[in-house]
Amino acid sequence: MSILLTGGSGFVGSYFLNNSTLDLKSISLKSNRVENIDFKNITKIIHLAALVHQMKGAPDEEYFKINKDLTFDLAVKAKSSGVKQFVFFSTVKVYGECTKKNQVITENSNCNPQDAYGKSKFEAENMLLKLQSEDFQVSIVRIPLVYGPNVKGNLINLINLVEKSFFLPFGNIKNNRNLVFVGNILLFVEQILLQNKAGIFLVCDQSSISTTELVRLIALKLNRKRFLIPIPSLFQRLLLFIYPKLGIRLFGDLRLDNSQTRKELAINSLFTINDGISKMLKK
């Protein structure tokens, strides 16, 4: 099978192109209009191209234009051209920003996206599912924060901070968050394609980790001795109140259980967090 990959210049897309054993053909949607794409000999699509969170912000309409409208146009053209499977990369933000105490998100949890990014992805999911037919399978892949070689964004900032600072204000944070190593994403997606599976798939590492544990693991893998300063619970609550988005990332829970996805795809062996962090920091 010949597979078209969008978003190949991004973090996840470039990893796929460099590590997948499947026949991937990359195309840029920035330089190619959907109506001009030639789907000849293309049987499946992995659609990674998206507008993700922008540090400086982006207008809400841009998220919907790229994540929903462009996705829908691509899927319609693909279906009419005889493509058999459309793998769409979504986000766990369709469920909301965090989990409450003792709450665990599964594939079947109710969705309640809070921002334009999550809402645009959720609306795209619903539009794609309406296009699904016997000859056009839709596979939706929901992922949390991704890490791995050449990671960008907040994680690279954290890594740089651990490299440079002896004292770090990340002690005593007892949250639980599921992340996903980019290599695990590839394992799941290859099975979705090889097994011709349609539906909603929750893709994450099998174990969760706290912010404190993550910082300690990064320091260990960098061979840096660091002192983590405990953050008083009062300050944590204050930061959550004043800067809720930052507070949720640092102190909030995001617990995921994808046992249904692993069972359906018969995936029993994954990279551990220890494996993934080692590969991310290997130079």
Spatial contact of 2 and 25, defined as CB atoms under 8 Å apart: yes
Give me the pLDDT at residue 164, please: 92
Which CATH architecture fits 2-147+177-205+257-265?
A: 3-Layer(aba) Sandwich (3.40)
Sole residue written with tokens 């049987």: 43
Confidence of residue 245 (pLDDT cuts 50, 70, 90): confident
Q: Residue 66 corresponds to which amino acid?
A: I
Distance CA 189, CA 90 (A): 13
Residue 56 has pLDDT above 80, yes or no: no
Give me the pLDDT at residue 228, please: 93
Residue 283 has pLDDT above 80, yes or no: no
Confidence of residue 233 (pLDDT cuts 50, 70, 90): confident
Counting residues of the chain whose pLDDT is more than 90, the rounded percentage is 72
Give me the pLDDT at residue 261, please: 97
Average pLDDT over residues 151-167: 91
What residues contact residue 256 under an 8 Å CB cut-off, 6+ apart?
92, 104, 105, 106, 144, 178, 202, 204, 208
Average pLDDT over residues 209-228: 94
Average pLDDT over residues 232-256: 81
Residue 54 has pLDDT above 80, yes or no: no
Higher-confidence position of 19 and 248: 19
Distance CA 281, CA 279 (A): 6
Q: What is the SS3 string spanning 53-108? A: CCCCCCCHHHHHHHHHHHHHHHHHHHHHCCCCEEEEEEEHHHCCCCECCCCCECCC
Q: Which two tokens stand for residue 255?
A: 């617990």
Q: What ranges in the chain are assigned the alpha helix state H?
A: 11-19, 60-63, 71-80, 116-131, 153-164, 182-194, 211-221, 233-242, 244-251, 259-265, 273-281
SS3 161: helix
CA dihedral in degrees (104, 105, 110, 113; nearest 10)?
110
What residues contact residue 174 under an 8 Å CB cut-off, 6+ apart?
210, 212
Residue 70 has pLDDT above 90, yes or no: yes
Give me the pLDDT at residue 237, please: 78
Confidence of residue 186 (pLDDT cuts 50, 70, 90): very high
Residue 55 has pLDDT above 70, yes or no: no
Confidence of residue 51 (pLDDT cuts 50, 70, 90): confident
Give me the pLDDT at residue 239, please: 78
Higher-confidence position of 232 and 47: 47
Give me the pLDDT at residue 272, please: 95
Higher-confidence position of 60 and 105: 105
Instruction: Report the predicted TM-score, pTM, of the whole model to 2 decimal places.
Output: 0.92
For 67-71, 91-95, 267-271, which range has the lowest pLDDT when averaged over its residues?
267-271
Give me the pLDDT at residue 101, please: 82
Average pLDDT over residues 217-237: 88
Higher-confidence position of 236 and 278: 278
Query: What is the pLDDT of the chain when averaged over all its residues?
Result: 91
SS3 162: helix
Distance CA 58, CA 226 (A): 36
Give me the pLDDT at residue 57, please: 65
